[in-house]
C-alpha cells in the first residue's frame, strides 16, 4: 500500500483513531520499565562498586521487575476485556509481521519475568519496605538463571528497537496512523474532542 493510499485510508476511516487511555498507559509503562530494568541489569555492575548503593539499586531492580510482571499480566487482560479494538490498517504481510513481533515481545516479556522471579527466589532478595523473599532452591541455579535472564532481555531489547523503528517508519515515511494511535497526547485530544 503506498503512503498516499495509507493516508487516504486513515483519513477516511473514523474508527482508526487511537487506543484507549488504559492501553496507552500500560504500553508506555511497559516500555519504560523494560528500558530502566535493562539499563540497570546491563550497566549497574560496570558503573557502581559493591556497596549499599549498588545493593539498593539491585533491590529496586527486583521491585521494578515485579511491577513489570504485574503490568504485563494486566496489559493483555485489559486489551481483551476493556481495551478499544482498532481496525487493521494493512491486512497483508506487514500485519502478519506486526502480529508476530507482538507475540514474540509478549513471549519474551513473560520469559524474562519468569526467569527473574525464579532468580529472586533462588537468591532470596529484599523487596520494597519490609518485604523479603526467602532463598529457596539450589544456589547453583543463580548463575544460569541470571545468564538466561540477561540473554532474553538483550533479545527483547533488540526486538523492541525493531518495533520502535517500524513505528517510526510508519510515522515518518508512510505518514499513516499507526504510531499516533498509541501516543498519549492523541488519546487525550480525542477524548476532549468527544466532550
| All domains in the chain, ordered by first residue | 19-190 (1.20.950.20)
CA–CA separation, 190 vs 178, rounded Å?
Answer: 15
User: Please, which pLDDT band fits residue 86 given cuts at 50, 70 and 90?
Assistant: confident
Those residues with Cβ within 8 angstroms of residue 145's Cβ, 6 or more apart along the chain or in another chain: 115, 118, 119, 122
pLDDT at 128: 77
CB 184 within 8 A of CB 28: yes
44 has a pLDDT exceeding 60? yes
Q: What are phi and psi of 178, to 5 degrees?
A: -55, -55
CA–CA separation, 3 vs 7, rounded Å?
Answer: 6
63 has a pLDDT exceeding 50? yes
38 has a pLDDT exceeding 60? yes
Q: What is the chain's mean pLDDT, rounded?
A: 86
With CA atoms as reference, report the closest residue to 163 among 27, 37, 38, 15.
27
- Return the percentage of the chain with pLDDT > 90, whole number: 63
CA–CA separation, 3 vs 9, rounded Å?
Answer: 10
pLDDT at 12: 41
Those residues with Cβ within 8 angstroms of residue 140's Cβ, 6 or more apart along the chain or in another chain: none
1 has a pLDDT exceeding 80? no
| 138 vs 105, residue with greater confidence | 105
Q: Tell me the pLDDT tens digit for each residue of 170-191.
A: 999 999 889 999 999 755 455 4
Q: Under DSSP, is residue 135 helix (H, G, I), strand (E, B) or coil? A: coil
pLDDT at 32: 98
Amino acid at each position: 500500500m503506498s503512503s498516499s493510499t495509507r493516508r487516504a485510508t486513515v483519513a477516511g476511516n473514523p474508527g482508526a483513531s487511537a487506543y484507549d487511555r488504559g492501553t496507552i498507559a500500560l504500553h508506555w509503562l511497559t516500555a519504560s520499565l523494560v528500558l530502566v530494568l535493562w539499563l540497570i541489569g546491563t550497566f549497574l555492575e560496570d558503573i557502581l562498586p559493591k556497596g549499599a548503593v549498588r545493593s539498593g539499586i539491585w533491590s529496586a531492580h527486583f521491585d521494578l521487575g515485579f511491577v513489570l510482571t504485574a503490568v504485563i499480566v494486566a496489559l493483555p487482560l485489559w486489551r481483551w476485556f476493556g481495551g478499544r479494538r482498532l481496525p487493521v490498517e494493512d491486512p497483508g504481510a506487514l500485519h502478519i509481521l506486526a502480529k508476530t513481533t507482538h507475540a514474540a515481545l509478549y513471549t519474551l516479556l513473560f520469559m524474562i519475568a519468569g526467569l527473574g522471579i525464579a532468580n529472586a527466589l533462588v537468591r532470596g532478595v529484599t523487596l520494597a519496605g519490609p518485604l523479603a523473599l526467602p532463598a529457596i532452591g539450589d544456589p547453583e541455579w543463580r548463575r544460569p538463571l541470571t545468564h538466561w535472564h540477561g540473554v532474553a532481555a538483550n533479545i527483547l531489547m533488540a526486538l523492541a528497537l525493531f518495533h520502535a523503528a517500524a513505528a517510526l517508519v510508519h510515522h515518518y515515511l508512510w505518514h499513516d496512523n499507526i504510531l499516533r494511535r498509541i501516543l498519549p497526547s492523541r488519546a487525550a485530544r480525542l477524548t476532549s474532542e468527544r466532550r
